[in-house]
Structure 1
Amino acid sequence: VSEHFDRKDFQTVATRASARMPPEKFFSDRQLVLDWISDNDIHLDYRANTAVVGEHHMKDLELTAIVEDGKLVLDEIRADMQGAQMKVTLELDARQRPYDIHYSYQLLGMQVARWLTENKVIQPLIGEVDIEVKLTGKGNSIREVVSHADGYAVMVIHRARIPRKARILLPTSVLMSVLRTINPFAKASPVYNIECGLIGFRIDDGKAFSDHTLALKAKEVTVLAAGTIDLATEEIAIAIRPKAREGLGISTVSLAGIYYRLGGTLAKPVVKAASERILKTGVTLGAAWLSSGLTVLAKGLFDRLGDKGDVCKNAAHRFDTLLDGTAFTLKPTVN
């Protein structure tokens, strides 16, 4: 039992310095050195009133770690993080190379106001964010593991006010870069008034795929997107379509048929407007910025934004279908 735990207390000066530098890659290619798992049998129950891991501040940390017969099992690490309940499980088989890893992460009810206040961004903010990730893969580094991983990742945003410049977590950072570019009111308002949002990816052999399961409904605009992220190269290829909300003083026609492409990498996402308008009649997606696979997805964005009902709820239904009926815990709040 500890009163306080801070990971940097166990890091070298060089490691601390490198952690402050912007990463060129999101996933580390540093080799995992886990020989100690095969050499020891350990049963550890650990508690800490407060814990700091990087930028993450946690309270009431509890974990049970068991090392036996060359296997490491972290059985439901639990903690309070910005008002949210965090649960993590990890199973790692160190008897073979590459390592066989099963990972699960869940964060329910992260309060936007508490997160941003603790990171020195003070605004009158509201809302919650939920995250769920499950991955299975093999590798001798994090990069190798995700490069051929299977599983899924989903984030749900519940009625939130988030500053335009805020960078909360990776998926939200990507989403904010999209909204910052395509929201016609982005420059006029310091915050986004998000009614609901869902970012859902199925992951097969290191490819994160969205079949119209990226959705966001803000006060001024609805956004729907589809595409892929190659976890091995970290390259992003996502087609995005905005649709102005009616009765807000903006011409719906001004956004009709306009697409954006989210490209770049996970560490450096870039949003670019399409080089030509894409019209509902005689749809042509010959622009070089779309691959053939992304073209098919982009065409579907026309009809998907015309779905009856809530765009977030519809995206959640499509995500459940994308997972072949595999149940995931998180559901968007629909009003």
Structure 2
Amino acid sequence: MPRYIKIILWGCSGLLVIVALAVLIAATFNWNHAKPWINKQASQLANRPVAIEGDLSVNWLRPKEQTGWRGWVPWPEITAQQLTVGNPEGSTLEGNMAEVKNLTVVINPLALLDHTIELPRLKVDEANVVLNRDAEGANNWTFTKEDAKDQPPSKWQFDLQQVQLSRARVHVIDVASKLDMNAELDTLQEASKEGYGIGFKASGTYNDADIKGEGQAGDILSLRAGGNPFPLQGKVSVGETTIGIEGSVTKPQQLAALDVRLSLAGNSMADLYPLIGVTLPNTPPYSTEGRLIGMLEGDDDKWRYENFKGVVGESDLNGTLEYQIRKPRSLLTGQVESQQLRLQDLGPLIGADTSDVKDKGKKDVVKPPPGQVLPVDPISTKAWGTMDADVKFKGRKILRDKDLPLDNIEAHVKLQDRVLSLTSLNFGFAGGTLSNTITLDGRGEKLQADMDTAARHLKLKELFPGAESMDASFGELHGDATLKGQGNSIAELLGHADGEIKALVSRGTISRFLLEAAGLNVANMVIAKLFGDEQVVLNCVAANFGVRNGQMQIRVFKLETEDTTVDVTGGINLRSEVIDLDVRPENKSLRIFTLRSPLYAKGTLKDPDVGVQVGPLAARAGAAIALGVVATPFAALLPLLNTGTNESNDCEPVVGESDKKKSRPDQAQEKQKPENPRDSWPSNQPRP
């Protein structure tokens, strides 16, 4: 036999003997002798006392997960009994952070060559854990030292792949969020087909509200990238809010993905803010259920509540909402529909409190000063800066108070950098339609408001409460309003408003009792002075108001009945709420001329004063009307004549003739039929 072959054989034999001796020593070595050294190293690494007070043993396993030669390298399975982990150095907390009766961990030794501490399996049996965070935010579960940030990053990586828990108790104390909760985990006697192996129960308090919960989860928590989703099912109540989930979590160590059925129920959506961090309004009692998907791998986390169905008060809601966490503001998008919508449930959106649970921190509504009626309660825009939004909403059937004749609603709500826009807010209202575009800019000290409103085919019979009981015919109201203003309350916005208001009322019937029921005090008093208690058949009412810096000035206001024409001039100061109007009736029949006298309307919106004018003012008023002088043109009202109906419009002669009096006084008595209303509709506006 050649010499070099003998050398190789002896070398291999020696290596095998060394390996055999190492395996024999490792298998028979009493690892309890190594506990002092292990305890010291672990304490320094964890920055807190760590001690193995029971037995320490090592078993060697052949890894089934490995193939080839790697499958022949044994993995140590280390079992430590009576393991204690104290609180960080300098902590004032009493007792230990964790006490574990049995801890078993498997280590891949080959991964150490790549500076990776790979733990394929970790099993914890009978553990007591206390997690604590004080009011300043310091906690006992951070294992790195404070000066570690100034040191270069470690070359070593930690890879925990599977965790199995049984008979574990966790006590969480978070002083900052007022959380004090106990949770118990235990192995289920029989594993379910869904993969549940551990049951859990929770109790405690959160923000002085009781916490109760129970559920079940998978027995082995898979932390490996691309591992099986971890099943989770549970129901937790926090105060009056109940939360239910059923689904799975992928890569729980990073919370990379969440896919669960989520149900929520409570007294008010505002109570969810401490739980989800999203500002929601106070609402009536609610409940909802849908699919919650969390996509959390990256800087911009996304939460999607998909195909949810819920109830708020007596209203149903369904749709899909997505919440994206981003800089500088998070974004809420989605579409929501309601088949049955109760307006009372929408009260929170405009500041009304309809919930059974009162907001303890909510301040009282500010009352208007004496003698005024416009709301002065401040409009808060603080929450507008917390997130952006782009949500579309549709309400099919509306349950409403009989005095508020609303129908279908469509709204597109946008919130961008404290600017709230309702690019379309459309209602079915009083048998007609209300179309609105509203922009509220909350970026400055004063709220900037911009509103465009168009009313078409509003039925007087539905506008006025109690009109159905009257044996009379009723006409329609058409109008446009464009207003801009600034202020932090409705009263302040109107007091600084600029814009224009136009309205036409076709043939209809009114009375003082009808106006009184509608709360129109000034109109009620004027009608009573002119016509008494009888029902009045209107041929037309045409009005055009100019608004400048809160001063609402009448450009045109003409009311025509079968035997009387009434012109109104003057204005209303929306800032001081002072009324200053002249009402000038003209009788079509000379034989009753003396029965109509000019009136005045003064006072305030809250306390109006209507009376008969006397002296030269009344004479001048009658003379002006007799000469057919019109102070301002009716041209702005002409587009309202075309309302998309084939019926004759009684306002056409009034508006058309009055406009001709302004442009051609010499032909004031000439009657000319205006052009076809359909031909005069502006090309840039849709037909109602």
**C-alpha displacement of 1:244:** 1.6
* 2:442 corresponds to 1:127: no
User: Residues 122 and 102 from structure 1, CA distance in 2 versus in 1: closer, same or farther, beyond 3 angstroms?
Assistant: same
**C-alpha displacement of 1:120:** 6.2
* 2:657 corresponds to 1:318: no
User: Residues 7 and 141 from structure 1, CA distance in 2 versus in 1: closer, same or farther, beyond 3 angstroms?
Assistant: same
* 2:582 corresponds to 1:239: yes
User: Residues 174 and 109 from structure 1, CA distance in 2 versus in 1: closer, same or farther, beyond 3 angstroms?
Assistant: farther
Q: Which amino acid aligns with 1:62?
A: E
**C-alpha displacement of 1:254:** 4.2
Partner of 2:554: 210
Out of 356, 375, 388, which is 1:28 matched to?
375
User: Residues 231 and 116 from structure 1, CA distance in 2 versus in 1: closer, same or farther, beyond 3 angstroms?
Assistant: closer
Q: Deviations over 1:227-256 (max 9, x none)?
A: 011000111001111112217xx521443x
Q: Deviations over 1:126-151 (max 9, x none)?
A: 21112322110110001111111100
Preserved CA contact (<8 Å) 1:7 1:54: no
Q: How does 1:1-335 map to 2 (within 5 A)?
A: 1-2=337-338, 3-7=340-344, 10=348, 11-12=352-353, 25-49=372-396, 50=398, 52=400, 55-116=403-464, 121-167=469-515, 174-183=522-531, 186-187=532-533, 189=534, 191-211=535-555, 213-246=556-589, 250-255=591-596, 258-276=597-615, 278=617, 280=619, 283=620, 299=621, 302-307=623-628, 318-320=633-635, 329-331=639-641, 333-335=651-653
Q: Deviations over 1:275-309 (max 9, x none)?
A: 436564xx5xxxxxxxxxxxxxxx5x63245429x
Q: Which amino acid aligns with 1:243?
A: E
Q: Deviations over 1:125-177 (max 9, x none)?
A: 32111232211011000111111110011221101112331138989653343
Q: Deviations over 1:197-245 (max 9, x none)?
A: 112210011101124x111001232111100110001110011111122
Preserved CA contact (<8 Å) 1:113 1:124: no
Preserved CA contact (<8 Å) 2:465 2:518: no
User: Residues 6 and 28 from structure 1, CA distance in 2 versus in 1: closer, same or farther, beyond 3 angstroms?
Assistant: same
Over the aligned positions, Cα root-mean-square deviation in angstroms equals: 3.2
Preserved CA contact (<8 Å) 2:511 2:527: no
Preserved CA contact (<8 Å) 1:51 1:57: no
Distance 2:618 2:418 in 1: 59
User: Residues 145 and 100 from structure 1, CA distance in 2 versus in 1: closer, same or farther, beyond 3 angstroms?
Assistant: same
Distance 2:353 2:402 in 1: 14
Preserved CA contact (<8 Å) 1:125 1:162: no
**C-alpha displacement of 1:25:** 3.4
Distance 1:81 1:31 in 2: 28
Q: Is the partner of 1:87 in helix, strand or coil?
A: strand
**What is the aligned-residue identity percentage?**
18
Q: Which amino acid aligns with 1:33?
A: S
Distance 1:209 1:52 in 2: 34
Distance 2:438 2:472 in 1: 37
Q: Deviations over 1:44-82 (max 9, x none)?
A: 111112154894231111101000122110012111111
**C-alpha displacement of 1:273:** 0.9
Q: Is the partner of 1:252 in helix, strand or coil?
A: helix
Distance 1:168 1:105 in 2: 26
In structure 1, stretches of 5+ residues that fail to align are 284-298, 309-313, 321-325
Preserved CA contact (<8 Å) 2:551 2:571: yes
- When the two structures are aligned, how many residues end up with a matched partner? 291
Distance 2:408 2:527 in 1: 35
Q: Is the partner of 1:113 in helix, strand or coil?
A: helix
In structure 2, stretches of 5+ residues that fail to align are 1-336, 642-649, 654-688
* Greater relative contact order, per chain length (Cα 8 Å cut-off, separation 6+): 1
